[in-house]
Amino acid sequence: MNFSVLLSVYSKEQPVFLRQCFESIFQQTSLPSEIVLVKDGPLTTELNQLIEEYAVKHPELKIVSLSENQGLGKALNEGLKHCSYDLVARMDTDDISKPDRFEKQLKVFQQHPEIDVCGAWIEEFYNDVSDIVSIRKVPEFHAEIFKYAEKRSPVNHPVVMFRKRAVLNAGGYLHFWLFEDYYLWVRMLMNHCTFYNIPESLLYFRASPEMVKRRGGMKYLCSEIKFQQEMRRMKFISSFCLVKNLLIRIPVRVMPNFLRHWVYKYLLH
């Protein structure tokens, strides 16, 4: 089956991480037909040189350049326009796909043509893939996924493969700071798309204490409150669920970083 891989990179990415990401793509047991890489604004010389190196070796690497940094949601929406195939695999440029990731996801779409979104678990690591700190598990079947989505994002975005037409029919990626992917899943669920998560880890997700720190503070909290209110406006969740979600989330966003790190590591995975 033909499929595209969709990536977005910006100036703060580490070249060594992007190289590891590329290598994990080009060493797959099922290779993509094309890789669409969005340059989200001007990049460093080192990143541009690395991208050019791979573009020369791999003509299937298609570059989409944005003159200014647009943010992940807008960058992915632009990249999606350049994906030639209906099946699109997402990945972040600092993560590492396991060698049989695409093969296993393609098998799901081959055996179950009704599925629109296929995710999986991911393993979070610090520094090296031998240093796994947690496994981010999500429900397997559609009914469980729908219910889970009322309280948490039901799909691990960096390891998802989806049908392009189903994403576009739901409005594509829309800007919602920090919640672009969750917002997309909710709209797709309400648009009667069918979801499935493979119950095993297919990707190494690069984590850090700084990432947990970024998930706190008033700016994050305000965006989260707005997102919860949007889900209520869309009638995806009830008023009771809205209040319950906020009662759980507000303390997590305002607690000290060391406590939030403990919550993410031991309670949310």
| Domains within the chain, CATH numbers bracketed | 4-207 (3.90.550.10), 212-266 (no CATH)
CA–CA dist 82, 102 (Å, integer): 20
pTM for the model: 0.92
H helices present in 14-150, as ranges: 15-26, 45-57, 72-81, 101-111, 142-148
Q: Which amino acid is at 79?
A: G
Predicted confidence (pLDDT) per residue in 213-245, tens digit: 456 667 888 999 999 999 999 999 999 999 999
Predicted confidence (pLDDT) per residue in 70-102, tens digit: 999 999 999 999 999 999 999 999 999 999 999
